[in-house]
Chains A and B, each alone.
Chain A
Amino acid sequence: VYRASSSMFLCKLCSPYWKQCINDSPISAHQPPPAKYGGRHTVTLIPGDGIGPELLNHVRELFRFCCVPVDFEVVTVDSSVVSEDEINNAVTAIRRNGVALKGNIETNHNLPPSHKSRNNLLRTSLDLYANVMHCQTLPGVQTRHKDIDIIIIRENTEGEYSSLEHENVPGVVESLKIITRVNSLRIAEYAFKLAREKGRRRVTAVHKANIMKLGDGLFLQCCKEVAAGYPDIAFDNMIVDNTTMQLVSKPQQFDVMVMPNLYGNVVSNVCAGLVGGPGLVPGANYGKNYAVFETATRNTGKSIANKNVANPTATLLASCLMLDHLGLVDYASMIRKAIFKTLSETRLHTADIGGLATTSEVVQSIMREVQKTGPLTSEYI
């Protein structure tokens, strides 16, 4: 109740942005890229591997059905190709359009280190420094823990993912983990701003500063400095191993969490597992000028590709986050409502959440819901 009333108060204060305040959109200072060509947005679409292409096709189908004014510019990135031209083309396309929706691109870790992870290249080239994931218990999904509502903000560009490795002596490999003051301050600032916007009361920094005294110590210090400027939001910190232990026993104690790259990987996967699995949670990567939306746990789902059994919820919710980002808030809430309505029906659960429904059944049901409640749609089904 407190959360709702505080956000309504903020909404009254900043009335031009009130629509953005009451939904899942990023920081209110953001300006969506201007819609060109007859009021329609162009968004880069990167199908990726595994279940990516089929689920993103469903997104396009749904958008066409709902008459969403978004056109997709498809850029394929083949994970087996060694040259980096394709991923560079994708980056150029995203620079042009400002927004992208993507599936995960597989990385073959048996290739030599010169072949870098395509997803990582995309994130670092576009400087998408904040990965935001909102995990909440969804109605209709059976889980061991109830009442989870955690926002995880993960630094997305440095830390352990700097890909700086060398072998000075044969048989001894060094991998560098880089933590900088600038990026730590930036992600902490983002976390607190987001917490304030959403009316959240506490931010927890996750670290391992008792062992990595300089690296994580710097990160923690930056978070403390930023916290001083937000006296209305409580700030505490927790060591990452204790965090995972607390997450599996009492996840309800967490509100907003901010952390460096690797711990973010672990914690976001744990939280996604707690609320029902990788098929339910959308993720967003925000930079100063660009935004890329994908599923939170970034799985390729090779084993279930093209079998019509994948759960489309995460990808569809990611597309709703994208619509919020573009300012098409009404379309986003219409689709989101339909998704949640479908999710609450057990007979429409896919295999990963314990049901027997196929992907197309779920998407059809969502379209029927939209038709029942929404404006005129393109086909009558």
Chain B
Amino acid sequence: MAGNAWRSTVSRVMGAVKSQTQPRTFSRGMQTVTIIPGDGIGPEISSAVIKIFEAAKVPIQWEERNVTAIKGPGGKWMIPPEAKESMDKSKIGLKGPLKTPIAAGHPSMNLLLRKTFDLYANVRPCVSIEGYKTPYTDVDLVTIRENTEGEYSGIEHVIVDGVVQSIKLITEDASRRIAEYAFEYARNNQRASVTAVHKANIMRMSDGLFLRKCREVAENFKDVKFTEMYLDTVCLNMVQDPTKFDVLVMPNLYGDILSDLCAGLIGGLGVTPSGNIGANGVAIFESVHGTAPDIAGKDMANPTALLLSAVMMLRHMGLHGHAKKIETACFDTIRDKKVWSRAVQYTALKKNPVSESVTLILLFIGICLSKFNVV
């Protein structure tokens, strides 16, 4: 048994050293995953996901942690040490929606998590959901966004009264890192092409550096096609024909806008999975919608986003069989109009999941579980 634990630790370390997305091999043991339920509807949808995973007999052991910021020694805000320890040990996390604090004195928890674990890549696969109709069908693309620098560096100055300067930072290392991740992701997930999105005609030096690094990395991945496209052309073509795009890699701001644009194409933040990849092999998968405090605790929330993120997590861990099972059950449930009708419309248009008079969540779990009995 010690031998198995040692083997799985070694494979985890080797996996982290080689590349973050190589499938992990597990022997008989259960993989530990840190789950951060979050605020508002977070706890309910997290427990729904846990129940579904139990029914599907996924070999995962959950460790629940809270990430409310505390003031550490030296006065710096940080996440609680138990949460950090748990994440560092398990390397995989699943996170529900976190409340953005106003006047709490500390920065947002999402930002803290990003800084603590150096989550440099935000990955959002956007696939059209069968059974949920939007004006766009056959969307199948992935947006990979650099998450640490760019326009969101937070460096701003008031030069003179009435003139503000915001600094956009692009570095060689970060650009190379995200480009490498994007190409590895494309290779591991059998994607045909990677497109770098930029505005180098205007921001010649910064986006030019980003592009140069992407080109350099592309040389090492000849099996994946590399193209470059201006941000405005991507936006224009995306709303006319999203099937033209495969994997998109871009700096922070363009990534923010484009990933939300693509989420809107498939139905909104309530149905979009998202994953954050960090250095040292850490990966945190999350639902990106809001906390919906008005329906919290009323058994009315839509767990799809968190569930699809959890499926993404399973794929990252190499548990493809379980991932497929749960994903199919989820899509079958969505296709079932009884459960889905009013729920998703509301979710798609607003950032908060829905209010529905039927106990949606139990119905959802029930239908998912019934699928597993057949399999």
Contacts and interface: CB of A to CB of B under 8 A. Distances in A.
Interface of A: 107, 109, 111-113, 115, 117, 120, 144-145, 160-161, 163, 165-167, 171-182, 208, 211-215, 218, 240-242, 244-250, 262-263, 265-266, 268-270, 272-274, 277-278, 297-299
B208 A109 contact: yes
Contact of B168 (A177, A181, A270, A272): A177
Contacts of B162: 180-182, 218
B82 to A, nearest CB: 29
B206 A173 contact: yes
Given A212-B151, A246-B264, A173 B202 contact: no
Given A171-B173, A174-B168, A273-B239, A113 B348 contact: no
Nearest to A253: B349
B106 to A, nearest CB: 15
B328 interface: no
Given A171-B171, A211-B152, A212-B156, A160 B202 contact: yes
Interface in B143-200: 151-152, 154, 156-158, 161-173, 199-200
A112 B169 contact: no
A180 B135 CA distance: 39
B322 interface: no
Contacts of B171: 171-173
A interface: dominant SS: mixed
A166 B167 CA distance: 11
B99 interface: no
Contacts of A245: 260-261, 263-264, 268-269
B201 interface: yes
Nearest to A278: B236
A172 B163 contact: no
B64 interface: no
Nearest to A248: B264
Nearest to B204: A113
A378 B223 CA distance: 60
B372 to A, nearest CB: 33
Contacts of B170: 172-173, 175
Given A177-B166, A182-B162, A215-B164, A248 B204 contact: no
B130 to A, nearest CB: 18
A176 B261 contact: no
B interface: dominant SS: helix
A241 B156 contact: no
A257 to B, nearest CB: 14
A277 B238 CA distance: 11
A117 to B, nearest CB: 5
B204 A270 contact: no
Interface of B: 134-136, 151-152, 154, 156-158, 161-173, 199-209, 211, 231-233, 235-240, 253, 256-261, 263-265, 268-269, 348-349, 351
B264 A161 contact: no
A270 B232 CA distance: 8
Contacts of B209: 173
A171 B175 CA distance: 10
24 contacts: A160-B203, A165-B205, A165-B206, A173-B169, A173-B209, A174-B167, A175-B206, A176-B168, A177-B167, A182-B162, A214-B158, A215-B156, A218-B164, A241-B256, A241-B260, A244-B258, A245-B269, A247-B261, A247-B264, A266-B232, A269-B232, A273-B238, A297-B236, A299-B233
A16 B134 CA distance: 48
A110 to B, nearest CB: 8
Nearest to B213: A171
A182 B173 CA distance: 37
A165 B164 CA distance: 16
A277 B264 CA distance: 19
Contact of A179 (B136, B166, B167, B202): B166
The 8 closest A-B pairs by CB, nearest first: A181-B162, A245-B264, A273-B239, A241-B260, A171-B172, A109-B200, A144-B135, A165-B205
A249 B156 contact: no
Given A174-B168, A175-B170, A250 B349 contact: yes
Nearest to A120: B202
Given A181-B162, A265-B232, A273 B237 contact: yes
A245 B288 CA distance: 13
A192 to B, nearest CB: 20
A178 B163 CA distance: 7
A262 to B, nearest CB: 8
Contacts of B349: 246, 249-250
Contacts of A112: 204
A118 to B, nearest CB: 10
B200 A273 contact: no
B235 A242 contact: no
Contacts of A266: 231-232, 235, 257
Contacts of B167: 174-177
A208 B211 CA distance: 24
B202 A117 contact: yes
B201 to A, nearest CB: 4
A181 B169 contact: no
Given A241-B257, A248-B135, A298-B232, 13 more contacts: A113-B204, A163-B202, A165-B203, A167-B205, A173-B171, A240-B257, A244-B235, A244-B264, A247-B264, A269-B233, A270-B238, A270-B239, A272-B236
B208 A249 contact: no
Nearest to B255: A241
B165 A244 contact: no
Nearest to A113: B204
Contact of B260 (A145, A211, A242): A242
A241 B264 CA distance: 10
Contacts of A120: 202
Nearest to A179: B164
B304 to A, nearest CB: 16
Contacts of A214: 156-158, 164, 166
Contacts of A240: 256-257
A112 B134 CA distance: 43
A269 B232 CA distance: 6
Interface centre among A144, A212, A240, A278 (most CB of B within 10 A): A212
A346 to B, nearest CB: 18
Nearest to B163: A180
A47 B200 CA distance: 23
Contacts of A247: 239, 261, 264
A250 B348 CA distance: 10
A181 B257 contact: no
Contact of B239 (A165, A176, A248, A262): A248
A250 B349 CA distance: 8
Nearest to A218: B164
Nearest to A119: B201
